[in-house]
Each structure stands twice: as C-alpha cells, then as structure tokens.
Amino acid sequence: MGFLVKQECPQCGGPVELKETDHILQCPYCNVKSFLFSSEPFRFVLPHDTKNKEILYVPYLRFRGVCYACLARSVRYRILDITRLALPLKRFPISLGLRPQAMKMRFLSYATEGSFLKCFLNTSEMLIKTEKQFFATIREDIYHKAYVGEAINLIYLPLYFEKGALFDAITQRPVARLPRDREKFSSVTENVPPWQLTFLATLCPGCGWNMEGEKDSVVLTCPNCETAWEAKSGGFVSVDFFSVLNDDPDLTYLPFWKMSVRTEGININTFADFMEITNQPRVVQKSWHHKDMAFWAPAFKIRPKLFLAISRYLTLAYEDFEGQRMLPDQLRHPVTLPVAEAIQAIKVTLADATVNKKDIVPRLPETSTAVKSATLVYLPFRKTGHDMIQIQTGLAINRKSLEFGRYL
C-alpha cells in the first residue's frame, strides 16, 4: 500500500499533498509543475511533534515491486512490499509497521533538524531474506529472477534520548535502552541531512515550452516541438518515440517500450532466431531473418500477470507498425514504467514466451542480453465495455486493471 507525502511547492510555498507514486508536483495555487528528481532512492521522514529534544533519525529501507522467478515449466511472480531497519543495530524496531501508511510523510531536506544514522543495508541484502520466503514456496530450481517496477526508498523514524533510553518521538514511548557504547553510535551518525530532493522545472529542453505529464508520469512530452523526455542525472534527456497515428478521435493511446535486443548464450539476433529457439508453432518466414529481434513491454504499471501476457503478446506479434515521430491528439495513458525497469523483464519475457521451456530456461543464467536501442511506442486502442482493444494486433487489456495499475 502506498503512502502520502506533504511537500511545499518550490515556487510559491503552497502546501501540496503527493502520492508515493507521484513524480510531478503540480501546485494548485500557482499552477507551476515541478518534476521530483533524485539519482538516489527518495528519502522520507515520519513527522513528529516532539519539541526541545535532540532527534536521532533511524533509517529503514523500503522496497516495492514484483519479483519474477523463471522455472523449468513456468514463470512465477510475487508482489513484494517490505520495510526493514537499514543498519545492524539490534536495539531498534525491525520494521515500521503500519506507520508509513497511517501518517503523511515529508521528504528529508536540509531543513530537517537532528542527526541521522547511516544506512548500511542495501536493497539486494534486504531482498535476499524476502526472496527466501517466496522461493521456499516454489520447491523447484529457479534459473532466473528479476525485479520489475521497483520503488526503493529510505524512511527515517525519529527517536530521542531521555533518562538512559531511546524514545519514539511519534508515540513518546521508549523503544530501547541506551547503548553503553555511545561512541560507537556516534561514529555512524551524520549531523547534517545526507540527502535533498531536486525539483526540475518541467520546461522542454528543446524549445522551452511547458511539458505535459500526469502526476505519475516518468516521461514528459512537449506538445510544441513533439518530443519526449525522461529525467536523468539532474536534467531531462530525449526519449526516442513514435506513434501509430489514426484519425478516429475516440481512440486512446497506450505507451509501450520496444527494445531491440541481441542475446548471447542462447543466441537470438533476429525474429527468426527467436521463433525457432522458442519453438513457436508457426512457420518461420524468410523476411523474419532480416528483422532485428525486439522485445516489447508495457510502459505503464499493471498487475504482473497482465504485464507478462502483454509483453508476450506484442513480442510474438512482431507487427510492422507504421509510426511517425508525432504525438497523437487523442487521450494518452501516462508512461509510468521507466525503460530501465522494462529492460529488467526481457529474460522473463523470453522464458514466458518459450514453448519448450525445459530446454531453454535452464540456459538463462549463462545468457547475456545487450539492448541495442529502446523506443517508446504509442499504440491506438478502442474502448469497449470492459476492455481496450489494440487496433492492429487485437491485444485486449482490461480497463479496470489499467486504472488499478496506476496505484501499484
């Protein structure tokens, strides 16, 4: 479950409430949009009302995402949502419980007063434990695992010292006796906030126009010069894209990542290689030997079962879409899954699409993938009662699942 964050507008100081999944702060007072950027995981603090006490902030690492496991006969998955104490000190509560959901958090900033314990746990260490629980239920060899759609952040719990004990600054209850070796403690403490969020103005780097994007968008578009942009190392970089244009005003466009890939180990370079190696029940056509292999994935968050099904469907369809580097005029679903996450899913899609899994999946560990290029593709869909139907390929996506995906 996601949480809420309180943040002042960097332009006018007006109070704004954000969802954990938001990337854009749109101020309702001055109407200015700012993109929230950090090259590291976001850091949040739990708010407290304790006055005149020296606050010690203790870090917890949080992970939200889907873990996929490729087995000899199937692909399994589990949605993970874990928060764990991020340093090896036994005195603190191991988890934050329901607090992040129950309270409105704030971003850590240089204005946060107190001292901060350093984070020692890294995500992969934390995941090893959780993985074990998931993998223990499988009881089969796992040949490949991947994490997709991850949100990783740090949440600080505020504590203070009093009468030889550490107190929770939110509940005012003691959480631990004071360690005798307090010096040891101070060697892992920083006295200035170790992180601050960067607000990027959402102006097109190409022409200076205001870019478009919904709160949860990770790719912004410029309606003036017809370009697409994603945030990287403190600025916006151009995203290659095309749209399959259609005059029908009632259509809706959904975004996908098309990734041109060459794999080694299991050698796939063309679509013909892919169809032969994965043993598809279709006769390989001559032209397929000249088509570079491309894996597809939704560029939006959606339940893992559908994520797999959509990726497989479009990868196998290998439609020759006629696209143009223009933004469609019709409604567009926001890009909520960055290309870096879609790339994580390439081997999973390979395993999932393979008919003769037991011959191919065990070879995944020694298979490497090289992404030659990645393109954002806007495809037109027609709305029906329950589904969205892709015009060229007939791919159907449940409308409710599409909406629900925005909260993942």
Beta sheet of 33-37, edge-to-edge order: 24-26, 33-37, 198-201
Residue 9 near Zn ion by CB under 5 A: yes
Residue 138 near Zn ion by CB under 5 A: no
What are 212's strand-pairing partners? 221
The nearest distance, CB 344 to Zn ion, in angstroms, is: 30
The nearest distance, CB 158 to Zn ion, in angstroms, is: 27
Going from the C-alpha of 86 to that of each of 131, 155, 168, 252, the distances in angstroms are 17, 9, 17, 43
Tell me whether residue 25 or residue 308 sits nearer to Zn ion (CB atom).
25
Residue of the chain from 4, 11, 175, 262 that contacts Zn ion (CB under 5 A): 11
Scanning the structure block, which residue is given the tokens 């949009």?
33
**Other CB atoms within 10 A of residue 162 CB:** 13
Rg (alpha carbons) of the chain, rounded to whole number? 24
The nearest distance, CB 219 to Zn ion, in angstroms, is: 14
Q: What phi, psi does 391 have (nearest 5°)?
A: -60, -50
What are 6's strand-pairing partners? 17, 106
Contact 271, 258 (CB under 8 A): no
Q: Is 127 helix (H, G, I), strand (E, B) or coil?
A: helix
The nearest distance, CB 300 to Zn ion, in angstroms, is: 23
What are 151's strand-pairing partners? 64
The nearest distance, CB 210 to Zn ion, in angstroms, is: 9
Tell me whether residue 119 or residue 239 sits nearer to Zn ion (CB atom).
239
Of residues 338 through 367, those in contact with Zn ion by CB under 5 A are none
Residue of the chain from 15, 17, 30, 81 that contacts Zn ion (CB under 5 A): 30
Contact 103, 165 (CB under 8 A): no
Residue 327 near Zn ion by CB under 5 A: no
Residue of the chain from 67, 204, 254, 351 that contacts Zn ion (CB under 5 A): 204
The nearest distance, CB 235 to Zn ion, in angstroms, is: 14
Run of H or E including 316: helix 304-317
Residue of the chain from 224, 367, 375, 398 that contacts Zn ion (CB under 5 A): 224
Tell me whether residue 206 or residue 323 sits nearer to Zn ion (CB atom).
206
Residue 201 near Zn ion by CB under 5 A: no
Binding site for Zn ion (CB under 5 A): 9, 11-12, 14, 27, 29-30, 204, 206-207, 209, 222, 224-225
